[in-house]
Structure 1
Amino acid sequence: MTAQAPDPALRLVLGSASPRRLDLLAQAGIVPHAVRPPEIDESPRKAELPAEYVRRIARDKIAAIPAAEGEVVLCADTTVALGRRILGKPGDEDDARRMLSLLSGRRHRVITAVAVRRGARVWERAVTTTVAVKSLSPGEIAAYLATGDWRGKAGSYAIQGPFGALIPWINGSFTGVVGLPLTETLGLLTAAGLVGGLR
């Protein structure tokens, strides 16, 4: 991808309500000018594969956010994929227990799609990380559920929280599993005319 010359007049709009994405941007020295979470239907379509789903949702999010002249919009979506199955955010504790039981002792994929829009142009990237979960006893699942950390998390877990102790191995982007692959995101923002250290 060809990077445009950095434009100090550009302002970043984060299209996400996720505090984790804000924290990751801060880790890279980036503070958005504004935060505008989109309101879209995130339901998977019939027979939609995880990689297709997460890319579509990132595109739908970025299309739903209004932007003024000089604003660059950043959106992302993360899903947990077990084979062809999409494990989204759990509806309740029983749903979370079901997902954790499915993940127990197996490898799965975490796919995060990132989209950046400046004017009519959109840059996109999807990053896939393979994650292994140790075999979980009913007691370990119950103890994790009791933390409440599963709420609002794709696949019912967050790698940076208590569940991280139950993940012995990953292959790919740690920040991608958290919700925003930083290296790839900074590449897209650079292509759109923004650089690290944006204030």
Structure 2
Amino acid sequence: MKEMFQYLLFGQLFIAGVGSACVSDKCLRCNITGATPADFCPSCQDTCINDTVYANMSADCKKAFQVSINSSGSSVNEGDDITLTCVHDLPSLALTFGWKKKQEIQENENKSELFLKGVRPSMSSQYICFLNSSCGYYESLPHGVTVKNNSVILLVICGISSLALVLLMGLALKFKMKRDNAKQRERVEHRIQAGKIRDPAPIVPRAS
């Protein structure tokens, strides 16, 4: 009785959706070990399922396809290139790819790969791959991309370099002053010695 009711229901849905596109039985859970097609989905016996019928089927009757993103890098430096690849297990039936950035659809990006060239900090975001197929609409979980800001790194490097330069200049100035002071002392001592040579010692009269 239950099976008959299901057939009648699907039959009514099929009539209501005459003229609609077909959905392949590859979208259904038909090859279940130890179960007959009627236990899961009566339409498994059909080669073409009306899309309206498919839309109203129980989720248990449909395959749970998965979509995810593989990335050549998730945390990269500014100026690097990144490739995001949409990975899925759907049958190759009229697939249409798309990409979202911060839930906004990216125009003219309708391939399974999203190539980000010379990334900038403004391109740091959550990316989503989505698929439209005869089996339905599917999308991946958000994939985070973080772009490190090289300007901050450059500022740190410049700051450290400037500090090192100031220290070196200070050491050089200190060394120069020390050397100049030593030369000044040498000149003073030299003049003192020269003065002693020019001035003869006074003659002391001999006692009678």
TM-score normalised over the length of structure 1: 0.24
**Bigger Rg over Cα:** 2
TM-score normalised over the length of structure 2: 0.23
